[in-house]
Amino acid sequence: MRYKSIFIMLAAFITLSFAALLFTSCSSADSSLSSYTVLSPTVNPGETLTGDDFIMVSEFASSSYTVTIDGDTDTDEPGFHSTTITVKSESGSEKSYAVTYTVRSPIYDSIRVEAGTESLTVEAFINKSVVSDDDDTVFSFANEEAVNEALSTVGTYKIAIYADKTLMYSSLIIEDTTPPAADPVTVYITSVYVTPTASDFVTNIVDIGEVTCEFAENYDFVTTEDISVTIILTDASGNTSEVVSLATCSVDSEAPVILGVHSITAVAGESIDYKDGVTVTDNSGENISVKVDVSRVDTSTAGTYEITYSATDSSGNTTYERASVIITDKEAVSSSVLTDAAKAVYVSLDISGKTKYEVAYAIYTWVNTNISYSEVGASELGFTEAAYDGLTELVGDSYTYMAVSEVLLGLAGIDTLEIERIGSDEEFYWLLVDVGDGWYHFDACRHYSGMNFECFMRTDAELEEYCAAYGIEYYYLFDESKYPTRATTSYYEVETEDTSSDVFTSEDGTSDDTSSDVLI
C-alpha cells in the first residue's frame, strides 16, 4: 500500500528496545538452549512488516525460529504503534510478546534555522529519507506568512503543514549562533568629568537582537596617552565578539595653584575682603576665579576662624587652601595708617632713579638692619598689624620681616609672593620677588649668629646649598608646587669667604650679633 506523504513530522519514537530473552524449551525431550533478541523496528510509511523484523537470532543459537505477527500492523500512519508476535522454536516451544514498531513521518519533528534567515520554504521540513522524489504528495504551510515572521525572533514555534489534505505539525527552532559585529570608534577624552561608556567606542552594531557592550578591563582615562580599548559585545543569545578601539586622552590632571593666601585680622563688625592679594594660576592658562568658603566665620564675635579657598579648572581639577581669620575687639590698624608709615620709610631710602633691582636691595638692607628679631607671634596679629608694628616698633619675627618687606616692595611696584615653611613645627615666612627677570627668594630676616646668609635674589639651589652646609635642611623647605617656576640664574657668580657682613652693625657703630637679635 502506497503511503501518501504527510507534512508534519510526528515524534519519531525511535526507541530500540533490546530485551534479551533466553528461550528455553518446555519439552523435557528438548533440553537445548537457543537465544534471540526481540526488536522494535522502524519502517517508512507503506512498507510491509514481517515477523522476522521483530527478532534477531544469535549466531550461536542451537535452533531456528519462526515468528508470526498475531496483531494488526498499520504502516500508513506515522508514529509509534504496538502489536503482538509469537516466536516458535524447531522443537515446538513458543512464546508470545507485546512489541512496538515506529512508522517514520514524512516531515521532520523539528528543524533549526539561524535567526535572520530571510525566507523558508516547506521543502525544509520534508524528510527526504521517507518521501521519494516520485511521490506526488503536495506539501504546504497552513500559514506561510506566520512562518516567515517567526524567522526574525529567537524561539521555538509550532508549524502546521498540510500533506495534501492531512494536517501535520513540526517545530521550527529559531536560534542565534552568530556573534554580533560592530565598527570601532575613536573616543577623544579631555575632561575628568567625561567618563566614556563601552558603547561609545563602537558603531554600526549588527545583530538580530539587543547587544550589550562592556569593557574587557578597567581603563584609566585620566591620562595624556592613547589607550587601546577592547570592547566585548554580547547578544541576547550569549554570543560574544570583541572590537578593539582607541581612546585618545588629553586629560589635564594638574590642579590650579592658589597664591597669596594669608591670615586675615579684622575688627568685629568690619567688612573683610577675603580675596585681597589672592590669585590663581593654572597650567591650562585659563582665567580661573577663586572661591572662598567663609561659612564658619562670625565677623561680629572675636575669635579665630578657618576659611577655605578653592579653585577648579575646566578639567575638573580642584585645589584647596586654608587660612585663619582673626576677629578682634580692639581697633585694628587701618590700611591707610599702614601705608603712611611705609611711605615714610620708603622716602627715607633715597632711591630716586634706581633700578628695581637696586630698589629691592635698598629695601632688603633697611629691613635687615633696622628690625630686631623677637618671637612676637606676628602671624597671629595679621598682615596689617604685623607690618605696622615692624615699621614703627622695629621689632618682630619672620612674619614681621616678610610683611614689612612686602609693603615696601609693593610701594616700589615690585611683584611679591608669600612663602611659608613646611615640615617643621616652627613657623617661618619669606617672599618671592620679581624685579623683571624671574622669581627669586627674598628673606630680610636675620639668621643664626655665625651662619649669616644674605638671602637676597637667591635661587632654589642656593637656598638648598646654604641649608645643607649647616645641616638645617628644613629651614627653607616649602611646597614648590604652589608657586610659579623660580629663576635658576644666580646673581652671585663669585663666592667670597669674607664673613665681615655676618655681624650686623647698629647705628651707633656697635656690633649687633647678640642672641636676642638672631633667629633661634
Q: Tens digits of per-residue pLDDT, 100-129?
A: 999 989 999 999 999 889 899 999 999 988
Per-residue pLDDT band at 363 (split at 50, 70, 90): very high
| pLDDT tens, residue by residue, 308-322 | 999 998 878 899 999
Q: Does residue 246 have a pLDDT over 90?
A: yes
Mean pLDDT across the chain: 84
**What is the distance between the alpha carbons of residues 399 and 386, in angstroms, rounded to a whole number?**
7
Higher pLDDT, 75 or 233: 233
What SS3 class is residue 410? helix
**What is the distance between the alpha carbons of residues 163 and 262, in angstroms, rounded to a whole number?**
97
**Share of residues in the chain with pLDDT > 90 (%):** 59
The type of residue at 181 is A
Q: Is 132 exposed, middle or buried (0-12, 13-18, 19+ CB in 10 A)?
A: exposed
**What is the distance between the alpha carbons of residues 448 and 245, in angstroms, rounded to a whole number?**
63
Residue 431: strand pairing partners = 418, 442
Note the pTM of the prediction, 2 decimals. Answer: 0.39
Counting other chains too, the contacts that 132-135 makes at CB distance below 8 Å and 24 or more residues apart are: 135/4, 135/5
pLDDT (0 to 100) of residue 349: 93
Per the listing, cell 512488516 goes with: 49
| pLDDT tens, residue by residue, 397-419 | 999 999 999 999 999 999 999 99
166's CB contacts (< 8 A; 6+ apart) are 4, 6, 7
Taking residues 164-185, report their average pLDDT.
93
**What is the distance between the alpha carbons of residues 404 and 401, in angstroms, rounded to a whole number?**
5
| pLDDT tens, residue by residue, 51-60 | 999 999 988 8
Q: What Cα–Cα distance (Å) separates residue 40 from each residue in 22, 57, 60, 167, 261? A: 17, 14, 22, 27, 98
| pLDDT tens, residue by residue, 443-467 | 999 887 778 889 999 999 999 999 9
| pLDDT tens, residue by residue, 15-52 | 333 333 333 333 333 333 458 999 999 998 888 999 99
Q: Does residue 64 have a pLDDT over 70?
A: yes
**What is the distance between the alpha carbons of residues 405 and 415, in angstroms, rounded to a whole number?**
11
pLDDT (0 to 100) of residue 462: 95
| pLDDT tens, residue by residue, 190-242 | 777 778 999 999 999 999 889 999 999 999 887 878 999 999 999 999 999 99
Q: Does residue 8 have a pLDDT over 90?
A: no
pLDDT (0 to 100) of residue 59: 85
Count, residues in the chain: 520
**Share of residues in the chain with pLDDT > 70 (%):** 87
Q: Does residue 63 have a pLDDT over 90?
A: no
Could you tell me the strand order of the sheet in which 65-69 lies?
42-43, 94-103, 79-89, 65-69
Per-residue pLDDT band at 162 (split at 50, 70, 90): very high
Pairing of strands 504-505, 511-512: antiparallel
Instruction: Yes or no: say if 150 and 171 are a contact pair by the CB < 8 Å rule.
Output: no
pLDDT (0 to 100) of residue 332: 59
